[in-house]
A and B are shown apart, each in its own frame.
Chain A
């Protein structure tokens, strides 16, 4: 059983050492540039010259490629659908009945696919190099409500536990002769006896968990401290300024050119 739902891979790298807020800002800057840059080739160039090299610098190149490869079918599907079904376009390249592919639509579909790939892959890179609890303690330190960060982090940890529990319930019901395999409708039918115990069981647990964290001063109004010191260097601050400038620049050029 997986103990937690996290993509984080602990490595010693310059990217890992960056402040989590810096990394999230880099991620958003990449996404904003990919979506709002007026220049057609921005997204593919970002992928080739920024995201991939960054994954190598972060020493997670192999893991990143693996995740990106699993993304390709989705992106490919989006590309095909867009290319086939976008309305308009004049330069017909290929036609079969009501299906036709035009050069304009092909280019538009490529743009959309690349933008989506940029968005998801830059998020993957962020998740691979940032420990979720580090991100949350850093954001809490920057005045994010601690309840909010608690909900995010504990959900990440509790989902695998819920999966394990669901498996236990399925095994228990199967051992009493319930048919959970076979046709699609059979499987759907088998879901109901699973959902009841899982959901109600979890609701009971919520109360106990609330007591457990209250017993450890969760609702304290004193300023919270953090066990780990999270780095925030001059480099981080410079990068964040640079990212803000890039974001503003992207929007400005978009406005300027339209």
Chain B
């Protein structure tokens, strides 16, 4: 069943000349993992804001079309009510710390205090969310004393504790070192395996290949390609339009005409697929 429906979304920021999103139609099924890729300025972040209600409630401007989660449209709800439908986590972990709390535990409870959750239930939900993302041992630390990866997991937990139907992740690992990224991605994978519906903007093609059920490629505000990770990520169109593509795909594509990549083999995205293909092409 489709839990998220975007119908004919066109959106233009205030004081700008051209729309950032043009005629986007999209459905996301319950429990699905949808990855969004695209070059800079393709409208990826705006798409995230639109799903999580910041367009039109936070960013004004001109929005046409409808966003619907579980039968409710964004414009029928207030921003603070929408948090139970879609939760947004974005790049910079530091800016996602509220600054109003002195410990990680309090930080995660912040959203529940805002929405008036009773104390007993608040503690239960915070404990549960922290266990899920594996940050229970950080609970008494100051959010500002943590590493980037830890801060991002705190930010993720603070959103999860609101129990949104959809988790929207806007390049959650782009400002992290490799260890931090792995910590965060592992948590996201666990959440997805437990049935969470996820929409994630991501640049690391190898991760997308191992995570996502479906990929959309945004280009200049429109959906250019849509399909399984294998279909989209190895499409020749991506390279032409300046998308970042997996280096394994690039190598295999150039190896093809030289007879070094088996012609019947799909282009690889991950290291394992590349190793597999190249070992088959050897006499």
Question: Chain A: which residue is nearest B81 at the CB level?
Answer: A220
For the complex, give the distance between the alpha carbons of A150 and B78 in Å. Answer: 21
Chain B residues with Cβ below 8 Å from A229 are 119
Given contacts A225-B119, A225-B122, contact A214 B80 (CB under 8 A): yes
Interface residues of A in 129-178 (CB under 8 A from B): 131, 133, 136, 146, 149-150, 153-154, 157-158, 160-161
Most buried by A among B109, B113, B145: B113
Given contacts A3-B145, A220-B115, contact A133 B79 (CB under 8 A): no
For the complex, give the distance between the alpha carbons of A211 and B100 in Å. Answer: 14
Tell me if A99 counts as interface (CB < 8 A to partner B).
no
Would you give the 0/1 interface string for B102-135, flagging 1 where the beta carbon is closer than 8 Å to chain A? Answer: 1001100111111111110011000000000000
For the complex, give the distance between the alpha carbons of A210 and B142 in Å. Answer: 20
Question: Chain B: which residue is nearest A220 at the CB level?
Answer: B80
B102 contacts A4, CB within 8 Å? yes
Question: Chain B: which residue is nearest A228 at the CB level?
Answer: B106
For the complex, give the distance between the alpha carbons of A133 and B106 in Å. Answer: 10
For the complex, give the distance between the alpha carbons of A153 and B58 in Å. Answer: 23
Tell me if A205 counts as interface (CB < 8 A to partner B).
yes
Tell me if A95 counts as interface (CB < 8 A to partner B).
no
For the complex, give the distance between the alpha carbons of A183 and B256 in Å. Answer: 66
A219 contacts B99, CB within 8 Å? no
A217 contacts B106, CB within 8 Å? no
Among B88-96, B226-234, B259-267, the stretch in contact with A: B88-96
Question: Chain B: which residue is nearest A132 at the CB level?
Answer: B102
B110 contacts A157, CB within 8 Å? no
> How many B residues touch the partner, as a band?
35 or more
Tell me if A215 counts as interface (CB < 8 A to partner B).
yes
A211 contacts B122, CB within 8 Å? no
A215 contacts B119, CB within 8 Å? no
For the complex, give the distance between the alpha carbons of A216 and B90 in Å. Answer: 13
Given contacts A215-B159, A219-B78, A227-B113, contact A153 B87 (CB under 8 A): no
For the complex, give the distance between the alpha carbons of A136 and B113 in Å. Answer: 13
Would you give the 0/1 interface string for A212-232, flagging 1 where the beta carbon is closer than 8 Å to chain B? Answer: 111111111111111111000
Most buried by B among A136, A161, A212, A213: A212
For the complex, give the distance between the alpha carbons of A229 and B98 in Å. Answer: 21
B142 contacts A4, CB within 8 Å? yes
Chain B residues with Cβ below 8 Å from A224 are 113-114, 116
Tell me if B200 counts as interface (CB < 8 A to partner A).
no
- A81: min CB distance to chain B, Å: 39
Chain B residues with Cβ below 8 Å from A154 are 98-100
Interface residues of A in 179-233 (CB under 8 A from B): 205, 208-229
B113 contacts A212, CB within 8 Å? no
B88 contacts A220, CB within 8 Å? no
Chain B residues with Cβ below 8 Å from A219 are 78-80
A218 contacts B95, CB within 8 Å? no
Please tell me which one of the listed residues A161, A208, A225 contacts residue B113 in the complex, with CB atoms under 8 A apart: A225
Given contacts A215-B159, A216-B159, contact A133 B101 (CB under 8 A): yes
Tell me if B155 counts as interface (CB < 8 A to partner A).
yes
Please tell me which one of the listed residues B81, B88, B99 contacts residue A153 in the complex, with CB atoms under 8 A apart: B99
Most buried by A among B78, B100, B109, B118: B100
For the complex, give the distance between the alpha carbons of A213 and B162 in Å. Answer: 12
B90 contacts A208, CB within 8 Å? yes
For the complex, give the distance between the alpha carbons of A212 and B52 in Å. Answer: 11
Question: Chain A: which residue is nearest B126 at the CB level?
Answer: A227
A216 contacts B114, CB within 8 Å? yes
Chain B residues with Cβ below 8 Å from A157 are 99-100, 102, 144
Interface residues of A in 239-258 (CB under 8 A from B): none
For the complex, give the distance between the alpha carbons of A136 and B106 in Å. Answer: 14
A216 contacts B99, CB within 8 Å? no
Q: Contact residues of A with B, CB < 8 Å?
A: 3-4, 6, 131, 133, 136, 146, 149-150, 153-154, 157-158, 160-161, 205, 208-229
- Ordered by A's residue number, 17 sampled pairs between the chains whose C-beta atoms are within 8 Å are A154-B99, A160-B144, A161-B94, A208-B95, A209-B99, A210-B58, A211-B54, A214-B80, A215-B83, A215-B111, A216-B83, A217-B80, A217-B83, A219-B79, A220-B80, A220-B81, A225-B112
Q: Contact residues of B with A, CB < 8 Å?
A: 52, 54, 58, 78-81, 83, 87-88, 90, 92, 94-102, 105-106, 109-119, 122-123, 142, 144-145, 155, 158-159, 162
Q: Which 9 A-B pairs have the closest CB atoms?
A: A216-B111, A154-B99, A220-B80, A208-B95, A222-B116, A217-B114, A217-B115, A212-B96, A227-B109
